[in-house]
């Protein structure tokens, strides 16, 4: 089969032929129906070096995956051949206090996982191939009726990650509250939909790109503000000078983190989701009183079930641009150049 593989750090992946996978006991092979291209893949290609992570190349890219079951290993009885499924992306040990209830994104014993890695497409072979080996059936979620694999694939990360970040702040988003989404691209446009579907808050989108602001309004944002020196003042003006109850930063640079802190309301949440490499000085007077600062990583397996249900009900619909496997690098180039609206999905078959 064909697979897009990262062969070494600081290099572009290449499309090569590799053997078809076969499932061992407890494992499952799926035919990939969609693999999301994520901005974090660009970090893997261009920024990481040997020794920075406990895993490394070579591996097949693609950590947002969905498809159809084609082969079951011994002992797998909860799935059927031909069944459409989504792959839960973070693969932990499956046994620790975090993994047992489904928070494998925060596995506390990754060194003793049966397959140590960040997951498929993150050290182990992912979904940018015709078939994908999933090391344990617990990592597969049956797709609800009305949701196809190409549409479900980006929901496993680009949908799940903002959902997890928003869900933990639900208590601060009653009617009358305001949420700000900084970065209205691949994850941000889904965050806007999640906020509108699960809260009564007013949603303000912030981005440097006109097309991203247009996409934000299309997806339900109440207000779209260009990112510039006057953005914080505009947010405060729109909130009666109170500031935003929840600020979600999907960029994560020095500038956006400073904006997030300055735009937050007392007792609010500032959640850093983007991997922009920025830092935010924290002192007694650097943020409004009792503002909580946090980072999040991905989401839990039960939350993915909820995200897929939102997708099946039409409440969460990623803006998708499909590419065949042979054009996967073109998707990454458009993403890197800021020319891609929404989410790129590689469709191998």
Tell whether the model's pLDDT for residue 198 goes beyond 80. yes
**Of 315 and 117, more confident:** 315
CA distances to 153, 237, 280 from 200, rounded to whole Å, are 27, 20, 29
| pTM for this model (two decimals) | 0.95
Q: What is the pLDDT of residue 250?
A: 96
Q: What is the pLDDT of residue 306?
A: 98
pLDDT tens figures, 215-224: 999 999 999 9
Mean pLDDT of the residues in the chain: 95
- Name the CATH superfamily housing domain 2-157+299-347: Medium-chain alcohol dehydrogenases, catalytic domain (3.90.180.10)
pLDDT band at residue 50 using 50, 70 and 90 as cut-offs: confident
- The pair phi, psi for residue 90, each rounded to 5°, is -80, 120
User: Which residues are CB-neighbours of 240 under 8 A, at least 6 positions away?
Assistant: none
Q: What is the pLDDT of residue 116?
A: 67
Tell whether the model's pLDDT for residue 1 goes beyond 70. yes
Q: DSSP labels for 213-280? A: HHHHHHTT-SEEEE-STTHHHHHHHHTTTS-EEEEEESS--HHHHHHHHHHEEEEEEEEE---S----
Tell whether the model's pLDDT for residue 341 goes beyond 80. no
55 in Cβ contact with 118 (< 8 Å): yes
Mean pLDDT of 141-150: 96
pLDDT band at residue 164 using 50, 70 and 90 as cut-offs: very high
User: Which residues are CB-neighbours of 229 under 8 A, at least 6 positions away?
Assistant: none
Q: Nearest-CA neighbor of 161 among 140, 187, 143, 141?
A: 187
Class of domain 161-295: alpha beta
pLDDT tens figures, 72-124: 999 999 999 999 999 999 999 999 999 999 999 999 998 877 666 789 999 99
Q: What is the pLDDT of residue 57?
A: 94
Structural tokens at position 277: 């490499």
Q: How far, in Å, CA of 43 to CA of 185, rounded?
A: 17
User: Which residues are CB-neighbours of 120 under 8 A, at least 6 positions away?
Assistant: 62, 63, 65, 87, 89, 91, 126, 127, 132, 134
Same fold flag, 2-157+299-347 and 161-295: no
Q: How far, in Å, CA of 262 to CA of 285, rounded?
A: 11
Mean pLDDT of 319-339: 93
pLDDT band at residue 65 using 50, 70 and 90 as cut-offs: very high
Q: What is the pLDDT of residue 194?
A: 98
Q: What is the pLDDT of residue 290?
A: 96
Tell whether the model's pLDDT for residue 32 goes beyond 90. yes
pLDDT band at residue 251 using 50, 70 and 90 as cut-offs: very high
CA distances to 22, 83, 311 from 259, rounded to whole Å, are 49, 45, 31
> Helix H segments across 69-127?
none
Mean pLDDT of 154-167: 98
Residue % of the chain over a pLDDT of 70: 99
User: Which residues are CB-neighbours of 73 under 8 A, at least 6 positions away?
Assistant: 23, 24, 25, 26, 27, 28
Could you tell me the residue ranges of all domains in the chain?
2-157+299-347, 161-295
DSSP reduced 3-state for 47: coil
Q: What is the pLDDT of residue 4?
A: 97
């Amino acid at each position: 089969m064909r697979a897009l593989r990262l062969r070494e750090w600081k290099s572009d992946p290449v499309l090569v032929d590799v053997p078809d996978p076969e499932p061992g006991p407890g494992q499952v092979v799926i035919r990939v129906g969609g693999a999301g291209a994520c901005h974090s893949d660009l970090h893997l290609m261009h920024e990481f070096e040997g020794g920075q992570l406990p895993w490394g190349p070579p591996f097949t890219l693609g950590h947002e995956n969905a498809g159809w079951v084609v082969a079951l290993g011994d002992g797998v009885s909860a799935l059927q051949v031909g069944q459409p499924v989504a792959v839960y992306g973070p693969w932990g040990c499956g046994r620790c206090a975090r993994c047992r209830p489904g928070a494998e994104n925060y596995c506390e014993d990754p060194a003793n996982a049966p397959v140590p890695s960040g997951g498929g497409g993150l050290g182990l072979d992912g979904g940018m191939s015709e078939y994908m080996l999933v090391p344990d059936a617990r990592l597969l979620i049956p797709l609800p009726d009305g949701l196809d694999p190409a549409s479900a694939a980006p929901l496993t990360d680009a949908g799940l990650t903002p959902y997890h970040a928003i869900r933990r702040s639900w208590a601060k988003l009653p009617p009358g509250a305001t949420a700000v989404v900084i970065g209205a691209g691949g994850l941000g446009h889904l965050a806007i939909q999640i906020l509108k579907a699960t809260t009564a808050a007013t949603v303000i989108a912030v981005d440097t790109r006109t097309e991203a602001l247009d996409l934000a309004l299309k997806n339900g944002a109440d207000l779209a503000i260009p990112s510039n020196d006057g953005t914080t003042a505009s947010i405060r003006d729109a909130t009666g000078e109170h500031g935003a109850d929840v600020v979600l930063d999907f960029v994560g640079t020095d500038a956006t983190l400073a904006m997030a802190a300055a735009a937050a309301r007392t007792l609010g949440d500032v959640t850093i989701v983007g991997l922009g490499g920025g830092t935010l000085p924290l002192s007694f007077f650097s943020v409004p009183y009792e503002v909580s600062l946090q980072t999040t990583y991905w989401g839990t397996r039960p939350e993915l079930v909820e995200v897929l249900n939102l997708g099946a009900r039409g409440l969460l619909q990623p803006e998708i641009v499909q590419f065949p496997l042979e054009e996967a690098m073109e998707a990454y180039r458009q993403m890197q150049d800021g020319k891609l609206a929404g989410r790129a999905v590689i469709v191998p078959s």
